[in-house]
Amino acid sequence: MDERTIHTSGIGRVAVTATRLQVMVGVDVQAAIAAAALSQLWTDLDALGEVMTNAGVAAHDRQTSSLTVNVAYGNDGPAGYAASGQVTAMFADPASAAACIDAAAQRIGDRFRLHHTAWIAEPTLEQTAIARAAAVVEAVDAARQLAAAANVTLGSVRMIAEGSSRAPAPPPWPRALRSEVAALPDLAPGETQFAIVVEVVHNID
């Protein structure tokens, strides 16, 4: 006979304030031959890296991705080659991000693209511990309620496991940035919820 158990789960939540901005920019290049498109793409990506370095973005706070080269098509068929790449970077505040975007746009010109901007909320170790403890308390309380409702005696904890942590979805940040940094509005990061799910299994005595 299977051992008698009670399975419950709990969710612990904590409010997290966004502290950094994630900005994804890129370059789109077209040329008659693939080699020329790739050469211009490398040049522009190097320029993006230089602009970000000058803006104080550390190497570990930026990542190059989505490097592609494909045949470009026009109304009459193939029309050369298109190459593209993206760089995602983290900034401490909107003003530094806007200044960097503005400098990159001036440096690269019409080939520059602004793809995505968002606030990033990262819980501290203390906040994570608070959420984890709250999840355990909720799961244990639920087990006690189930045992009482079923008129059985709740035994010891048989198993406890942490499910996937749910990071808060960052609210979007305005994509249309003015070239004058001083003209930026006061962008409020606000608070979002970070949650941890815990599964608990109790024996039934």
Reported as a single tens digit per residue, the pLDDT across 119-174 is 888 889 999 999 999 999 999 999 999 999 999 999 999 999 998 666 555 544 44
Reported as a single tens digit per residue, the pLDDT across 72-126 is 888 888 889 999 999 999 998 888 888 999 999 999 999 999 998 888 888 899 9
21 bridge partner residues: 91, 119
φ, ψ at 187 (rounded to 5°): -90, 115
Q: 2: pLDDT confidence band, cut at 50, 70 and 90?
A: low
| pLDDT confidence of residue 174 | 46
| 51's tokens | 């602009």
Q: Count H helices and E strands in the chain, helices first.
A: 3, 7
| pTM (two decimals) | 0.66
CA distance 10 to 80: 57
* Domains in the chain: ranges and CATH: 5-17+123-204 (3.30.110.170), 20-120 (3.30.70.2970)
The answer to whether the beta carbons of residues 146 and 8 sit under 8 Å apart is yes
The answer to whether the beta carbons of residues 17 and 191 sit under 8 Å apart is yes
What is the dihedral angle through the alpha carbons of 106, 24, 172, 191, rounded to the nearest 10 degrees?
-110
